[in-house]
Amino acid sequence: MTPDQFREPRWARFLFASTTAAWLWLVIRLYMAYIFIPAGWGKVTSGKWLFGDGSPIQGLVGGAVSNEGTPGWYVWFLQNFVQPNASLFATLVALGELAVGLGLLVGLLTGIAAFGGVFLNGNFVLAGVLGQNPALIILGALVMIAWRNAGWIGLDRWFIPWTHRTTAAPSATAAEGGGTAPAT
C-alpha cells in the first residue's frame, strides 16, 4: 500500500478540509488577529520600533542572552545577528506582527500568516517571554495544518483558486499536451 492510498480519518477530513469547520478556524483566526494587530500596531505607531536605533528589542535580547535557560545556539544567534542588526530586527518584528494579524483577520494567505505567527512566537519563547505565546504557537500550528479551509471564510476562498488557475493549471495543461508549450 502506498501513502496516496491511505484515507484520512473522518475527524481529520472534517477539521482540515471541510467548509463547515471553516467557522471554527474563523474564530481561532479572529482571536489570533485580536492579539497580533494591536501588538503590531502599537509597535508601528510608537515611533521606536520602525527604522529606529533598535533599543526596544535590545532589552529583550539582553534578557535572553543573560538568562541561563536560553539555548546556547540561540544566544549565539542573538549576539551575532540580532544585536548588531537590532534596528532591522525591531522593524521586522513590528511589521511582521501587523502583517500576521492582518493576514489572519482577512483570511489572506492564512497558512503563511499562521506560519509567521508561529515563527514570531517561537522566537519570543526562545528568548524567555512566555505569556500567551505557547498558546498562540499551538493555535497557529493548527491553522497552518488547516490551511485549505482556515481561510475559506475570508479572501483565500477566492485567492487560492485564482492562483491555482493562473499558475498551476496552465503548466499542467501544457504538460498534458492540451495547450501550447512555451517558446524556447
Q: Please give the tally of structural domains in the chain.
A: 1
Task: Confirm whether pTM is higher than 0.75.
Answer: yes
Does 125 reside within a domain?
A: yes
Provide the b/e sequence for 166-181 (b: ≥16 CB within 10 Å).
Answer: eeeeeeeeeeeeeeee
Does 21 reside within a domain?
A: no
Does 64 reside within a domain?
A: yes
For 14-58, how does the pLDDT look when each residue is reduced to its tens digit (9 = 90+)? 988 888 999 999 999 999 999 999 999 999 999 899 988 889 899
Does 107 reside within a domain?
A: yes
Which is nearest to 171 in space by CA: 160, 161, 182? 182
Does 19 reside within a domain?
A: no
Which is nearest to 53 in space by CA: 78, 80, 90? 90
For 70-109, how does the pLDDT look when each residue is reduced to its tens digit (9 = 90+)? 999 999 999 999 999 999 999 999 999 999 999 999 999 9
Q: Which domain holds residue 54?
A: 28-167
